[in-house]
Amino acid sequence: MTQNIRVRFAPSPTGFLHIGGARTALFNWLFVRHHGGKLILRVEDTDKARNTEEAAEAIYEGLRWLELNWDEGPQVGGDFGPYFQSERNEIYERYLKKLQDAGHIFEDAGALRFRSPREHVIVDDLVCGKIDFDLTNPGTHPDMTIRRPDGSWIFHFVNVIDDIEMKISHVIRGEDHLSNTPKHIELYRAFGATPPRFAHIPLILNHDGSKMSKRDEGARVAAYIEQGYAPEAVRNYLCLLGWSPKDNREKIEIDEVVKLFELEKINRRNAAFDLDKCFWLNGQYIAQMSLDRFTELARPFLKKAKIDISDDEYLRKVLAIVKEKIKLFRDVPEWTAYFFIEDYEFDPASVEKVFGKPEAATRLNALGQEFTKVDNWNAEILESTLKNLAQRLGCKTGDLVHPARVAVSGRSIGPSLYHMLEVMDKDRVLARMQRAGEKFSNLPKMSS
C-alpha cells in the first residue's frame, strides 16, 4: 500500500470497554503497525445523557493495559483534533450548510433529513467482498435523519464528517455496521469525498450463537484487569477471534502477529468466544513469563493488598518460587502474604489435620532444634536435614514436612517447602516454628 494509512477507533464513552470494542481496536492497531500507518482514537461523545468521564477513562485504561497505543487522540494530541465529537460542532455546521446549499437536505417535523439519491451502492469490503445494496426503495431505505429536532446530531452524519476531516483511509469495524455503510457512502458522495476502504470484521458470539452482550461473562475488559490476567495473553486471545496464523498455533507473540496481519486474511465466519481458552492461554503466558515481567504484573495486586514489598530482592525470591502456582495475578497476595507478615492466619482445617496428630508438635520442635545447627541455609541441606531426622525418629518424611509447612505459612499447600524455608531465612523460620510449636502443643489430639 502506497497511500498514507490512517485508521480510527471511535468508541462511545457510555459504559465500560467491551471485549468486542477492544478486538476492533486491536485489529486497527495491528493493521497500522503492519503498514506503518497511524491509529487515531476518537471519542464519539455526542450522547450527553449517557456519556461519562469515568467511561472515557475506562476506555483509555483498557487500551493502555492491552498496550494498544494510539498515535493521535485524547492525552496524545495531533493535527486533526479536536478528538471529542462534542467539541466539533462548528465543523458539523459547516458540512451541514454544504449539503443544504446543494439541495440534499429537507426538514421533516423539526428534524433534518438527507435526501437519498435512490440508487444501488456497491460496498467493496476487504473482508466481506463486494455487496450490492439496493437503496432505491423508500420503504426499505427511508431518507436518513442527520439532525434531531433538539439539535443533536445523528451518528451516521458526524461519523462520516470526522472520517473525512481526519483523512481516514480504512474503516475497520464490526460487521454489525455493514448495513450502515451504503448510507455512509451516499454521504461521502454528496460531500464530493472519496470513501475510505471498508473492512467489517466478524462478530463475537457466545457458545449458543447469540451476539455477545455487555452482560455476558468475559465482556468487560476491566474484569480481566481486576482479576489479574496478563495483558499479553488477553491480547493474544483477541487476535485469534477472527484471525489465525494458519498453522494451528495459539500462543503467538505480538511482533509476529504484526508481521503476518492482513485484513484479507480475517476469517469471514463469526468468532466464538471461549473464556476457558483465554484462561488457559493466560496460564501458558504466566508459566513462560520472565521473572521481571511476572514481578511487574504482580506488584499492583500486592500493593492493593497493603503488603510491604519494599525489599525488591526478597520479593523476587518469593515470587520465583510461587510463580508456578499462579493462574491469575489477583491470587498472588493469597499465595505470598505470609512471606511478608508475622501475624498470618492459620487455616483451621490444616491445623486440625496436622497438629491433631500425636507427636506433631514434638516433632516440629525436634526439627527446629536440628535446623538451628544448619550453617549453610539452603534448600538442599534443609531437605537432607529433615529426611535424616525423620529416619532417626522412625517417622515418615511427611510427619515433619506438614507441621513445618503449617508452622511457617499457616497453610497446608504452597511452593516447595525447602525453597520456602530457604527464602524466608533461618531466623524467621526458627521463630515461626517455635511459636507454632508452643501454640499447638496442647491441641487436643485426634484418636489414631
Q: Which residues are catalytic?
A: 214
Measuring CA to CA, how many Å separate 244 from each of 37, 56, 261, 274, 307? 22, 31, 9, 15, 41
Alpha carbon distance 125, 429 (integer Å):
66
Q: Which contacts (CB < 8 Å, 24+ apart) does range 315-321 have?
A: 316/291, 317/423, 318/423, 319/291, 319/294, 319/295, 320/291, 321/415, 321/416, 321/419, 321/420, 321/423
CA–CA separation, 344 vs 337, rounded Å? Answer: 8
Task: State yes or no: cis peptide before 13, omega within 30 of 0.
Answer: no
Do residues 29 and 63 lie in contact, with contact meaning Cβ atoms separated by under 8 Å? Answer: no
**30, 10, 2, 47: which is closest to 165 by C-alpha?**
10
Q: How far is CA 310 from CA 206, 307, 339, in A?
A: 44, 9, 13
Residue 230 gets the label, from left (phi > 0), alpha (psi -120 to 50) or beta, of beta
* Gap between the Cα atoms of 295 and 330, Å rounded: 13
